[in-house]
Amino acid sequence: MASDDRLVNSILIDKCKKVFKGLNSLVDVGGGTKTLSKAIVDAFPHLECIVLDLPHVVANLQDSGNLKYDAVDMFKEVLASDAILLKGYCMIGMMMNA
């Protein structure tokens, strides 16, 4: 599972760089504690990335630089941002604000 994550992360970041161009903020909805958002902010240091997940998942995680955590239920509230990332084990989607 961890190697699957690393593969998906590297494909998303290396092969889809243009997707992130022009973005200043991104919310990784249901981002969990995995490394995708960390990999994104490492690759795109200008981008503020917020990992949104349920309180029991992220409440104790520390913000670090431009990587922040938001402990909320996505059905109640999602912070405004340039883009929303939804990544699960069988799909990846991004929605951009026009």
Ligand X SMILES: C[S@@+](CC[C@H](N)C(=O)[O-])C[C@H]1O[C@@H](n2cnc3c(N)ncnc32)[C@H](O)[C@@H]1O
The residues that touch ligand X, with contacts defined as CB under 6 A, are 30-32, 34, 52-54, 57, 73-75, 87-89
The residue (of 60 and 98) whose beta carbon lies closer to ligand X is 60
Q: Which is nearer to ligand X, 76 or 98 (CB)?
A: 76
Rounded to an integer, what distance in angstroms lies between the CA atom of residue 21 and that of residue 78? 22
Nearest distance, CB of residue 64 and ligand X, angstroms: 18
Q: What is the number of the residue whose Cβ is closest to ligand X?
A: 30
Q: Which is nearer to ligand X, 40 or 53 (CB)?
A: 53
Strand partners, 71: 53
Min dist CB 31 to ligand X, Å, is 5
CB of 68 to ligand X, least distance (A): 15
**DSSP letters spanning the chain:** -HHHHHHHHHIIIIITHHHHTT-SEEEEET-TTSSHHHHHHHH-TT-EEEEEE-HHHHTTPPPBTTEEEEES-TTT-----SEEEEE-SS-EEEEE--
Q: Which is nearer to ligand X, 7 or 98 (CB)?
A: 7
